[in-house]
Amino acid sequence: MTRKLTLDLAAPLSDADATIQPFPDASPAKWHLGHTTWFFETFVLRDHVTGYEPFDERWAFLFNSYYEAEGPRHARPRRGMLSRPSLHDVRTYRAHVDQALDRAFPDLPPSALQLIELGINHEQQHQELFLTDILATFAENPLEPAYGELPPPACFAIEPLSWRLGREGIVEIGATESGFAFDSERPHHRVFLSGHELASRKVTNKEWREFIDDGGYRTPALWLSEGWDWLQRERISVPLYWDEEGTEFTLGGRREIDWAAPVTHISYFEADAFARWAGGRLPTEAEWEDFAASADPMFGNQLDEAGPVAPRPGGGIFGDVWEWTQSAFASYPGFAPAEGAVGEYNGKFMCGQYVLRGASCATPRGHSRASYRNFFPPHARWQFTGVRLARDA
């Protein structure tokens, strides 16, 4: 089902749509299709299936992302220069690898089955990136084409904000040994929480508009020094894809802002400044995880099938937008990366990144959990990223 959903997401795209790379941190749709296939071909078929012959041995150079142990690779900022192989050829590559996996599956050892599980979760991550990168790609086109149709903005009243008292003292966070989790979610361990409260809902577009109107983007006292420098250098004055006329660009094209929906496409710098303006702060990831531990991660506005997505009003803890925390992405006590090349999956990025929690409207349903640690650098905002306030109690 995961492999099929990726193809379904790509179905509306032309070869040209799938080739463009809007900026270095985003990747072409065609590259996502190839890279997620390379992962299975390299770590499962090549290493665990005797006699498997690569579809095209040259393509490992094209579709390796950052695995140093797998040798040299095409430069990330130049992925958009790959006019060949064609989208059709990449789809053929996917079919070849899927058929080989189907044939090999009954005889695969447990270690290979674990890698398939990792590969499925890896591909789900790329499904979200696929949608956010296509949004960024179409936003570069002056015609502002739509990826697909979205329902009109809902006419919801904004839910009053209230505060939920968090637990104080020693709590346990991180994934347990049962069930799938990425290596960065483990080990399960104890942390101490001071008195705190978390907001009952995410910050809305209307509240963000009030922040703008009150000079939030023009008041240096609200901003971290690095954030203020970024703001001035990039001339940022509204969330990504907003304009000053009250519209935003979405996967459904340009449309009126839904003021009751959670604000999205904001950076850590912006989230931190807003929290300071609002008299609060960002939660720590431990506060967030303990808050969300009893919530069902299957609920909320998340990705269920191919098509455009957008945050909606009235959501719960999971879904709509990822929530920035004030926590740096670092290892837990006792963390140990996996052996081999897949050990490069998370550990090597534990520097200069901040943790986000929850899930977004583009996260495949069932992919996230309370212990899940998403992470991006503080300036990143092309993902569906938002904020839930916290404060000391």
Q: Are residues 100 and 232 in the same domain?
A: no
Q: What is the rounded CA–CA span in Å between residue 151 and residue 123?
A: 27
Going by C-alpha positions, the residue among 252, 254, 152, 241 that lies closest to residue 205 is 241
Ordered DSSP codes for 13-55: --HHHHH--SSTTS--HHHHHHHHHHHHIIIIIIHHSTT---S
Q: Are residues 219 and 337 in the same domain?
A: yes
In one-letter notation, the amino acid at residue 195 is: G
Assess if residue 331 is contained within a domain: yes
Assess if residue 144 is contained within a domain: no
Report residue 220 CA to chain centroid gap: 29
Residues 6 or more apart from 192 whose CB is under 8 A from it?
169, 170, 171
Residue 95: which domain range? 2-139
Assess if residue 149 is contained within a domain: no
Residue 20 bridge partners (DSSP): none
Q: What is the rounded CA–CA span in Å between residue 202 and residue 246?
A: 20
Q: What is the pLDDT of residues 323-344, one digit of tens each?
A: 999 999 999 999 988 777 788 7
Alpha-carbon torsion 85, 87, 88, 89, what sign? positive
Alpha-carbon torsion 69, 379, 381, 81, what sign? negative
- Please check whether residue 130 is in contact with residue 6, taking contact to mean a CB–CB distance below 8 angstroms: yes
Strands laid side by side in the 390-392 sheet: 163-165, 196-199, 390-392
Q: Are residues 181 and 286 in the same domain?
A: yes
Q: What is the rounded CA–CA span in Å between residue 63 and residue 57?
A: 11
Q: Are residues 134 and 182 in the same domain?
A: no
* Full 3-state SS string of 44-62: HHHHHCCCCCCCCCCHHHH
Q: Are residues 39 and 77 in the same domain?
A: yes
Q: Are residues 111 and 201 in the same domain?
A: no
Assess if residue 155 is contained within a domain: no
Alpha-carbon torsion 66, 69, 73, 75, what sign? positive
Position of tokens 């995961």? 2
Picking from 104, 123, 139, the residue at the C-terminal end of a domain is 139
Q: Are residues 326 and 217 in the same domain?
A: yes
pLDDT at 260: 95
pLDDT at 153: 81
pLDDT at 221: 98
Q: What is the pLDDT of residues 77-127, one digit of tens each?
A: 999 999 999 999 999 999 999 999 999 999 999 999 999 999 999 999 999
24: left (phi over 0), alpha (psi -120 to 50) or beta: alpha
Q: Are residues 29 and 91 in the same domain?
A: yes
Q: Are residues 118 and 186 in the same domain?
A: no
In one-letter notation, the amino acid at residue 354 is: Y
Q: What is the rounded CA–CA span in Å between residue 161 and residue 376?
A: 27
Q: What is the rounded CA–CA span in Å between residue 70 and residue 73?
A: 8
pLDDT at 211: 98
In degrees rounded to 5, what are phi and psi of residue 87?
A: -60, -40
- Please check whether residue 389 is in contact with residue 266, taking contact to mean a CB–CB distance below 8 angstroms: no
pLDDT at 345: 86
Q: Are residues 258 and 118 in the same domain?
A: no
Per-residue pLDDT of the chain (393 residues; tens, 9 = 90+): 899 999 999 999 999 999 999 999 999 999 999 999 999 999 999 999 999 999 999 999 999 999 999 999 999 999 999 999 999 999 999 999 999 999 999 999 999 999 999 999 999 999 999 999 999 999 999 999 999 999 888 777 888 999 999 999 999 999 999 999 999 999 999 999 999 999 999 999 999 999 999 999 999 999 999 999 999 999 999 999 999 889 999 999 999 999 999 999 999 999 999 999 999 999 999 999 999 999 999 999 999 999 999 999 988 899 999 999 999 999 999 998 877 778 878 889 999 999 999 999 999 999 999 999 999 999 999 999 999 999 999
Under DSSP, the state recorded for 154 is P
Residues 6 or more apart from 237 whose CB is under 8 A from it?
212, 217, 244
User: Number of structural domains, the chain?
Assistant: 2
Whole-prediction pTM value? 0.96
Assess if residue 98 is contained within a domain: yes
Alpha-carbon torsion 384, 338, 61, 84, what sign? negative
Q: Are residues 197 and 330 in the same domain?
A: yes
Ordered DSSP codes for 309-342: ----TT--SSSSSEEEEEEE--PPTT--PPSSGG
Assess if residue 146 is contained within a domain: no
CATH assignment at residue 333: 3.90.1580.10
Ordered DSSP codes for 231-278: HHHHT--S-TTB-TTSEEEETTEEEE--TTSBP-S--HHHHHHHHHHT
pLDDT at 147: 98
Assess if residue 292 is contained within a domain: yes
Q: Are residues 188 and 316 in the same domain?
A: yes
In one-letter notation, the amino acid at residue 182 is: F
pLDDT at 158: 87
pLDDT at 126: 98
- Please check whether residue 69 is in contact with residue 344, taking contact to mean a CB–CB distance below 8 angstroms: yes
